[in-house]
Homo-oligomer: A and B are copies of this chain.
């Protein structure tokens, strides 16, 4: 067979298999531009998977943890789960006439985000408790799934489930192809993320670590159910992230990827282990294709991490420069 013919057959095969030829041309993570961030990732993975090198890590210990909001999907102008909670307040309002006159619910119902913001963390917790508890685990999963299936992000007019970052999907795939086990470690609610984590990111529910409310086992009409209680079980944020990792995973990650100061402790904990480690932060620098924000943002503020990155050896991923594609390729 001539070389020309072989090439033609291969191209035909790749078309038949619906694999774009570019996938072969570009190597792993084609949505990442060549640059220091991609280089750091490729070098890291090469080193920890090289059995003959000094930095080899056994597959079982290749734990990679990813924040969700702002790291795997869009978090601006407001965390997706907060928007879900606000919509639930509106849906539940007829059963709560008192909300018309009580903050922060009044603010949510009137679209007065300033009033909601003024209620602070305490107010936000009240909203979460009112909308995330009192139902069974299965009912909440249905609520969250329905909302995500039907709600579009206002600026991009796409469902939130499509506003996930293509370069990160490629990174997750690349890590798993190299025998990493990938986890979400997010301040968001564990029960809000789990119904979609497998489909969106290839991360199964049991590899999602997040904040949670207390659940109670009850037998209702002879059927055992789990009922979500209006009480915080765990806040998986900031210094809570290494704790969540300890309680849930029980191994220290060798790679941690966040986008905000709230991820610093997770990255510190990851980097403090023996041997080769990698800590990364997404820097939202692309006002045109996504959003540009950092030090003074009301979501995902990235300030101290930017200052400390160089000295600590943390990799800052510049969304504008490092990613040639932002959202999920359709």
Whether A250 contacts B217 by the Cβ 8 Å rule is: no
Q: Is A156 an interface residue (CB 8 A)?
A: no
Q: A217-B269, A223-B272 are in contact. Are A248 and B248 (CB under 8 A)?
A: yes
Binary contact readout A234-276 vs B (1 if CB under 8 angstroms, 0 otherwise): 0000011011001111110000000000000100110010000
Binds B, one of A80-88, A103-111, A202-210: A202-210
**Chain B residues with CB below 8 A from A194, complex form:** 250
Contact of A190 among B137, B216, B250, B268 (CB under 8 A): B250
**Chain B residues with CB below 8 A from A249, complex form:** 205-206
**Chain B residues with CB below 8 A from A208, complex form:** 250
Q: Is A181 an interface residue (CB 8 A)?
A: yes
Contact of A251 among B205, B223, B240, B265 (CB under 8 A): B205
Q: Is A57 an interface residue (CB 8 A)?
A: no
**Chain B residues with CB below 8 A from A63, complex form:** 206
Task: Write the nearest CB–CB distance from A255 to chain B, whole angstroms.
Answer: 15
Q: Is A215 an interface residue (CB 8 A)?
A: yes
Whether B215 contacts A243 by the Cβ 8 Å rule is: yes
Whether B242 contacts A226 by the Cβ 8 Å rule is: yes
Whether B206 contacts A250 by the Cβ 8 Å rule is: yes
Q: Is A14 an interface residue (CB 8 A)?
A: no
Q: A181-B206, A251-B205 are in contact. Are A224 and B60 (CB under 8 A)?
A: no
Q: Is A198 an interface residue (CB 8 A)?
A: yes
Contact of A243 among B60, B226, B239, B248 (CB under 8 A): B226
Task: Write the nearest CB–CB distance from A55 to chain B, whole angstroms.
Answer: 20
Whether B247 contacts A212 by the Cβ 8 Å rule is: yes
Whether A60 contacts B198 by the Cβ 8 Å rule is: yes
Whether B217 contacts A248 by the Cβ 8 Å rule is: no
Whether B265 contacts A217 by the Cβ 8 Å rule is: yes
Contact of A137 among B206, B217, B224, B246 (CB under 8 A): B246
Q: Is A233 an interface residue (CB 8 A)?
A: yes
Q: Kindly list 15 other residue pairs between chains A and B, CB separation below 8 angstroms, not including A190-B247, A206-B206, A217-B243.
A: A60-B198, A63-B206, A137-B246, A190-B250, A191-B250, A205-B249, A206-B207, A217-B240, A217-B242, A217-B269, A219-B268, A223-B272, A224-B268, A226-B243, A248-B248
18 contacts between A and B (CB under 8 A): A60-B198, A60-B204, A63-B206, A181-B206, A190-B247, A190-B250, A205-B250, A205-B251, A206-B249, A215-B243, A215-B246, A216-B239, A217-B265, A219-B268, A224-B242, A224-B268, A224-B269, A226-B269
Residues of A bordering B, CB below 8 Å:
60, 63, 137, 181, 190-191, 194, 198, 204-208, 212, 215-217, 219, 223-224, 226, 233, 239-240, 242-243, 246-251, 265, 268-269, 272
